[in-house]
Every structure is written in structure tokens, then in C-alpha cells.
Amino acid sequence: MTLQKLTILGSTGSIGVSTLDVIRRHPQRYRVIALCAHNQIDRLFDQCLEFQPRFAVVRDAQLAGELQSRLLAVACSTLVESGPEALVRMAELPEVDSVMAAIVGAAGLQSTLAAAIAGKKVLLANKEALVMAGPILMRAVRENGATLLPIDSEHNAIFQSLPNGYSGNLLESGVLSLMLTASGGPFRNRALTDLESVSPEQACAHPNWVMGRKISVDSATMMNKGLEMIEAHWLFNVPAEQIEVVIHPQSVIHSLVQYVDGSVIAELGNPDMRTPIAHALAYPERIAAGVEPLDLCKIAALHFERPDFERFPCLALAYRALREGNSAPAALNAANEVAVQSFLDGKIGFTVIPKIIRAVLDRTLVTPLLTLAEVLAADHAARRIAEQAIGELA
């Protein structure tokens, strides 16, 4: 058994915490080299004490100094660094085999790309990296011998349900389409007229999954599924027309692959992110994740329905962005991040989120994205337009 050495980008978030829980169960298999967080230094302090990484990274020098002092006071030898450049260095460390890319949003793009360029095994939990820079990231994986394994439960389920050695060619593989399942979030059955009064706390109360606030809001608007649809396009080389979203409130079937012979292969399990994390960490082996076995008799029934695009306009906007291509998905992601943060800050209402995104797509000049600099420029321009739209619509 070879010891796998890891950098965890986003260690204090829900994916990072779940990753460390799986690692905790297999100390003979995994060694944490670097833990990277934003500003939750209390949680990061505890993680450093338990896992004793060589490095820790936080947002800025002030937080780094505070954390370093606390670690030195308890004789912990972890070296604390700060800033985006430090995140990139942690992703590139020569001794690191695998990088868990779990920083939410555009902030995780550069370090994720750095891990791919360094030829690492990249455990991708940052869907925005592919949404913003799909062709650039996939090219980096191919050209540098990196391995890209999806952590989102939906993409991990599709990965497991596709033929072994899937080449990216649907026809040659006998695959007809992909089906992404969605819980429908907390407002699946709520009257449309009541959505204007939704509070951030209500939007963050996901019925099945434990997630961060931004991702929880994305689930409530179903933008999360739209971003996953774009991510699936890049991961599996599938056009939008062959990626279907199906609402499945129980979140037991995590996604499905439909074959040309009429077969449908699905991956099932309890809604716990430790399952796809354990799968990717140990791939192609299997390890215990601490997840309760699925009891189908207890569940008794599974339900499915097609999404209502009037209720979930963000999903329709994501399909539009993928069809427009080039810089449109990056603009979509930037607009969504700005709009969701404004909603969480109480500046706009819940139903204004898709209006902001639509305004950005309508006003954005779609251009090719060939370099990281062009991606970041498109992201910046879309954020500026989103802020203008908020001023008009708030």
C-alpha cells in the first residue's frame, strides 16, 4: 500500500471537513501535507493539531500571523502562509500526490489549474473551475498527465456508471445520454408568489445535504444543477442536448447513464459526500467512508419529475450559457456569485438572482477564452455588469 500525500484546498468547508473525516479513518493510507482555508482559523487550528501538516494557508498575513503564534504556543511545527500565491504553491508541491480542490467559486480556479499543470491527481469539488475555464483545465489535464476525478456526487455517480475506460466518445461507448438528479431544493413545492419573500436562512435550509451557504442558495435556485450540467459537458464530452436534469427529492439516486440498448445504470447511496470523496481518494480501490448502508426497504419509494423552468429560471440560463459557449459560462458563474452574495447580504430578494444573471448574459459580449488571463478578464467584466444590474434592480 502506497502512502498518498495530499493538499486540501478548502479544508474548513463542508467538503474539506468530510475529506478529513475519511482520511482520519485510514491513517495508514493518507498523509496531509497542506491544509488551506480562508478565514476560519479556529477550525484550521484544530485541524493542524490533529493532522500535523507541513503547511497551512489562510487569506491574509494578519490571520497567518495569528494562527502561526497559536500553533507555536502548542509546539505545532506547521508553517503558516497566506494569499492566493501560497494556494498555488501548495497545489504544486513536489511531494504531494493528490489535491482536493474544494475552494468554492472563482477563487479556486488558479490553484486547481496549478494542480493540473503539475500533473497531480485532482479531486475536483470546485465545479466553477470547469464552468469558467473548461477547455483550459481539460487541456492542462491532458498535456500534463494529470488525473481528474469528480467529487460532486452527481458527476462521481456518472463516472462510476459509464463504461470502464470511457474515451469521451458517446457513440463508440454506446451511451445515449446523461441524467443529473436534483433534489429540487427547499422550494420545490412552494407557491411561486411566495418566493419573493424567501430569506437567506430559508434558502440555506437544504432538505437533504449539508452544504455551505453559497452552494445551498445555488441548490434552492437550481443554478447548482446548471453549473453541474456545464461541468458534465466538459468532464464527459457531452453536448447540452444529451444532458438531462431530473428532480429526485430523495437524493438516493445520485445520477444515471442511459445506454442505446435501453439500459439505464445508476449509482445509489445515502446523501453523504463522504461516499464520492472516499471513491476518488482510493480509486480504483474501495475504502470505508463511515457512511451508513442504503436501506431501500426503509426508503420504500423513489420519485422523479421534470424541472419547471418558470420556477427555476437559473437552470434555463445555464443551458443558454453552455449553448452560447466561449465566455458565456464564465459570465454566468460570475453573475451568479455576485447575485447570490448580494442576496445573502440582504441587498436583493431571492427572485432577483436570475434577473441579475439574465441581465449579465444579455449585456456580455461573448468571446473565445484561450488563456487564464482571458478567463479572469471575462470574470471581472461580468462582475462589473452584475453590480450595475444590482443597482438597477435592487
Q: Count other Cβ atoms within 10 Å, centred on residue 168.
A: 12
153 assigned binding-site residue:
yes
Question: What type of residue is 369?
Answer: L
177 assigned binding-site residue:
no
327 assigned binding-site residue:
no
Place of cell 452544504: 211
241 assigned binding-site residue:
no
List Cα–Cα distances, 360 to 134, 228, 351, 367, in angstroms.
20, 20, 15, 14
Cell of 366: 461573448
46 assigned binding-site residue:
no
292 assigned binding-site residue:
no
85 assigned binding-site residue:
no
List Cα–Cα distances, 347 to 217, 332, 387, in angstroms.
15, 20, 11
Residue 278's closest CA among 30, 50, 32?
30
The phi, psi pair for 103, rounded to 5°, reads -80, 125
**Distance (Å, rounded) from C-alpha 273 to C-alpha 175?**
26
15 assigned binding-site residue:
yes
Q: State in Å, rounded, how far the first CA of the chain is from the last one.
A: 57
Q: Count other Cβ atoms within 10 Å, centred on residue 106.
A: 22
33 assigned binding-site residue:
no
| 3-state SS, residue 247 | strand
83 assigned binding-site residue:
no
154 assigned binding-site residue:
yes
127 assigned binding-site residue:
yes
13 assigned binding-site residue:
yes
Place of cell 490533529: 50
- Contacts of 80-89 with CB under 8 Å at 24 or more apart are 80/55, 80/56, 81/55, 81/56, 81/57, 82/57, 82/58, 83/57, 83/59, 84/110, 84/111, 86/36, 86/57, 87/9, 87/36, 87/57, 87/111, 88/114
Cell of 363: 449585456
CB-based burial label for 292 (10 Å; 0-12, 13-18, 19+): exposed
Give binding residues for NADPH as ranges.
12-15, 126, 128, 212
Give binding residues for 1-deoxy-D-xylulose 5-phosphate as ranges.
127, 153-154, 183, 206, 219, 224-225, 228
Give binding residues for Mn(2+) as ranges.
152, 154, 228
Give binding residues as ranges.
12-15, 126-128, 152-154, 183, 206, 212, 219, 224-225, 228
